[in-house]
Chains A and B, each alone.
Chain A
Amino acid sequence: RKEVEQDPGPFNVPEGATVAFNCTYSNSASQSFFWYRQDCRKEPKLLMSVYSSGNEDGRFTAQLNRASQYISLLIRDSKLSDSATYLCVVNLTSNTGKLIFGQGTTLQVKP
């Protein structure tokens, strides 16, 4: 079993749609959680951290459920520019810096 699992998609949605991605992690001792975004042929970039209480950044909302070892990302009012691969990322211990990346979920927003 992979340490971080995501549905690879692709998710094809029209502009303006709401889309949700899910991710599960296997190690209950995981300390911190992130969503990274990777555009085609580019490097991954931090989209947002995920906090236990849930957090929102504009059209993006991240949720964490420690009991179920489950992380989600909700994108509202999708834009064409949201088309990318979204990587779920877990850090086992906060002070090592060692991140475990999921395979990524591909989103394609259509006009």
Chain B
Amino acid sequence: DARVTQTPRHKVTEMGQEVTMRCQPILGHNTVFWYRQTMMQGLELLAYFRNRAPLDDSGMPKDRFSAEMPDATLATLKIQPSEPRDSAVYFCASGLVRIVQETQYFGPGTRLLVL
């Protein structure tokens, strides 16, 4: 049963610290997404990749957030420096897009708390 995996599952850190979240997409999926979910804003798309190339990162605060896909099995989302307002659940999702959109599968999320 193929799944998207994310690490860490929980992270508590202090303001100003660097946070790195990792995601392993489902093998064979060509599109990877990073979302952030908060009570106030709901689920927001931060960035996404197709065949490892960044397609859209307009949802991401550029000054402190960065997203990369160093290889097909790893996507990373980094926050430096972190701020309390970054506290949220960060989801990674992967999907296969050929001619049309197919289902996106979400990982379990990383719950981030910045103190």
Contacts and interface: CB of A to CB of B under 8 A. Distances in A.
Tell me if chain B binds chain A: yes
Interface string A91-105: 100111111111110
Nearest to B109: A43
Interface in A44-88: 44-46, 87
A98 B108 contact: no
A96 B107 CA distance: 20
B42 interface: yes
B104 interface: yes
Nearest to B39: A103
Nearest to A49: B103
Interface residues of B toward A: which range?
Answer: 20 to 34
Q: Give chain A's interface residue range (CB within 8 Å of chain B).
A: 10 to 19
Nearest to B111: A41
Interface of A: 32, 42-46, 87, 91, 94-104
27 contacts: A32-B100, A32-B101, A43-B108, A43-B109, A44-B91, A45-B106, A46-B103, A91-B101, A94-B99, A94-B101, A95-B97, A95-B99, A95-B100, A95-B101, A96-B101, A97-B33, A97-B48, A97-B95, A98-B48, A98-B55, A99-B101, A100-B45, A101-B35, A101-B42, A101-B43, A102-B42, A104-B42
